[in-house]
Homo-oligomer: A and B are copies of this chain.
Amino acid sequence: MLSDLFSPSVQHWLDIAGIFVFAISGALLGVRKNFDVFGMAVLAEVTALGGGLFRDLVIGAVPPAAFTDLGYFLTPLLATLIVFFLHPEVERITTAVGVFDAAGLGLFCVTGTVKAYSHGLGLTQSATLGLATAVGGGVLRDVLAHEVPSLLRWDRDLYAVPAMVGAAIAAVMIRFHALHGPTNAVPVLTAFSLRLLAMRFNLRAPRAWHRRSRAVEEV
């Protein structure tokens, strides 16, 4: 079935894993911003579940999955606890966290696209909501933590583009009835690999035309 990329139980555990790594990034930002443990938990929940919450409100799937699956809700609290006690250790494995985050990005852009399409949206809009599912939580995290959203900044490695490519591939495969069973891995792995490449080679998107030549002074 379209809305299950993999078998339901595998899908569920992949979702939980994605939620967990997104929550880690939220809780870590809470530590850096000197928030208390409840602030860390709020950022963890928002980072992990915010993108899917937005998608579900837009497609009218209420109550959203974030409020019906208890595992989705409790996972960010577990991530908060781990970061609370072990944050220096978690910071030290920041590359590993980045790799898992890339996996979450790849997974969520595809599941978001598929869920939106299965609720009757067009292919372009489904891919857009897939992108929003993958990156929305991070934007909400930054807004709540009073930071410029990392997604919008030119001096960060590509983050939206891998999710956009993954969502677009998923939409095209849906269009040609090619997204089922093992082929689901194609868009997920494409987005995952692109994000890893962006991290490895510091790939960035251009700013508006005439700005580029002044980039050095502005940094």
The chain B residue sitting closest to A80, CB to CB, is B208
Question: A161 within 8 Å of B by Cβ?
Answer: yes
Question: A85 within 8 Å of B by Cβ?
Answer: yes
Q: Which residues of the partner chain B approach A143 to less than 8 Å between Cβ atoms?
A: 143-144
Inter-subunit contact B209/A73 (CB<8 Å): no
Inter-subunit contact A88/B36 (CB<8 Å): no
Of A9-17, A116-124, A165-173, A188-196, which binds chain B? Answer: A116-124
**Given B31, B147, B208, which contacts A146 in the complex, CB threshold below 8 Å?**
B147
Question: A178 within 8 Å of B by Cβ?
Answer: no
Question: A19 within 8 Å of B by Cβ?
Answer: no
Q: How many residues of A contact B (CB 8 A)?
A: 61
Q: Which residues of the partner chain B approach A58 to less than 8 Å between Cβ atoms?
A: 53, 57, 62-64, 67
**Given B39, B83, B153, B205, which contacts A151 in the complex, CB threshold below 8 Å?**
B39
Inter-subunit contact A205/B149 (CB<8 Å): no
Known: A62-B58, A149-B146. A121 touches B205 (CB 8 A): no
**Given B59, B153, B210, which contacts A36 in the complex, CB threshold below 8 Å?**
B153
Q: Which residues of the partner chain B approach A36 to less than 8 Å between Cβ atoms?
A: 152-154, 204-207
The chain B residue sitting closest to A39, CB to CB, is B152
Question: A93 within 8 Å of B by Cβ?
Answer: no
Q: 28 interchain pairs (CB within 8 A)?
A: A31-B208, A33-B148, A35-B152, A35-B207, A36-B152, A36-B154, A36-B206, A37-B205, A37-B208, A39-B152, A39-B154, A40-B208, A58-B63, A59-B63, A60-B60, A63-B121, A67-B128, A70-B125, A73-B128, A83-B208, A85-B208, A86-B209, A87-B208, A143-B143, A143-B144, A144-B152, A145-B148, A146-B149
Interface residues of A (CB under 8 A from B): 30-31, 33-40, 42-43, 53, 57-60, 62-64, 67-68, 70, 73, 83-88, 119-122, 124-125, 128-129, 139, 143-149, 151-154, 160-161, 204-211, 218
